[in-house]
Structure 1
Amino acid sequence: MPTALIADDEPLLLNYLCDRLAHLWPELEVVATARNGVEALSLVHQHKPDFAFLDIRMPGLNGLQVAESLQQTRAVFVTAFDEYAVAAFERAATDYLLKPVSDERLKKCIDRLRQQLQPDPALLAQCLAGLQSHKSKLHWFHVGLANQTRLVALDEVLFFQASDKYTELVTAHERHVIRTPLKELIRQLDGYLYAQVHRSYIVSLRAVAFVEKDLFGRHQIHLKEHPDVLPLSRSFAAQFKQM
């Protein structure tokens, strides 16, 4: 539900705008009203409304000064004086209404404000892509064992090893063969939890105990729950060390 604050030092005009907004935009919730700029600014910080309808000439702080302190709240100026229009739009005013405000002009303002509440199409597409990417992440593997098919949770896998045309997934106590190649696996794994450390290995970062350099200067990965020692190739070492 959209929210708004209305600030005007003239009670009749304040009540009039509240009434017309309630009639023309019934879903808008007026969360606060103010009689001066200082009160308006305090109430904006308290309620964080989507919009602030601000009279310009008010005691304490004028509407332009209040607008300078707004962050997420968008300002609509409502005034009897047109000479402030340039200054208002320099402060990123969403609209500038001249008193007395007609229903027709207020409707146009409301349409503009409603459009601003619509999600950015590019941002929406990005969010949807993120959701789709999340859906594609692996959580389980179907593996064959004799005449049975078993489920192995991704969290159980310590590392993946490329083997001929297949890939082995290795847990603390078992090894299973799957047909998915490493280059496809790495695209479906969370980059914060899994890393490719060699052209033939992907490791779960949670399974790594430490990395050691041998007598020949080669880096090797030791695991917490498995005796296998994995190679860390130079081409992946820099990326691995940044994690």
Structure 2
Amino acid sequence: MKTTALIAEDEALLAANLQAELLRLWPDLEIVASVGDGETATEQALSLQPDILFLDIRMPGMTGLECAEALTEDWPEDGKRFPLIVFVTAYDQYALQAFERSAFDYVLKPVQTERLAKTCARLQERLQDRKPPQAAAASLNTVVDQMRELLAAGQPEPSRRTPAAAPLRVIQASAGNTITMVPIDDILFFEAADKYIRVVTAEREHLIRLSLRELLPQLDPQRFWQIHRGAVVRCEAIETAQRDEAGKLTLTLRGNPSRLVVSRLYAHLFRGM
């Protein structure tokens, strides 16, 4: 069977050049899709389950890192092995130190033939050494650990959270001509919903036009924990964290019937004392 790959690059000329270079260096490689944004890349990767992903770091909407994060969260337990990932980036060597510390490979823009040839050789070697299908779950756990380190380490897209100088104490939620002042202590969780965030309290919920990426730096990270790429929960509101037979964690909350699923990337937050 041919090795399959997916390219996610929003600049059409760069995507075409990368595909042409790959096929010249690796004639047996089959490019199953070439897309221009992170959301489509995530959908196609989950559907096609290629062996390799070439992800541009900066794309419209979801970045390459966020795409990889989403895949580690949503990759089916009974699916193929998690794909090898190569990040395509214009960042300098200092910013790339985080990639050097992980198993993820990278190539710099504009793509140089010599560097891409080394990447192809590494990929071919790693594909030969990959574990049998029954070890896929353990392999994915390793990828999750590396992805978490990459997101927290010094990567170009700032995912590491530091306490805000003055964390938010109130959320101003507007609806029509009314602005509701929601004390931060009343909020159970935030959940991304299209271009809005659901702000959920025990009594009701509000919508604010903001992204989680913009909101997170304004929250106290000791109190508000990200448990999924689209969900942040106030830790004092958590009543239980229940793990099922497959290892999936689900949270129950005090004073609210909602049940929140914890992604693989953030499961390490919940350990018994």
Which bin holds the TM-score, normalised by the shorter protein? 0.3 to 0.5
TM-score where L is the length of structure 2: 0.41
Q: Which structure has the greater CA radius of gyration?
A: 1
Higher relative contact order, chain-length normalized (CA < 8 Å, sep 6+): 2
TM-score where L is the length of structure 1: 0.46
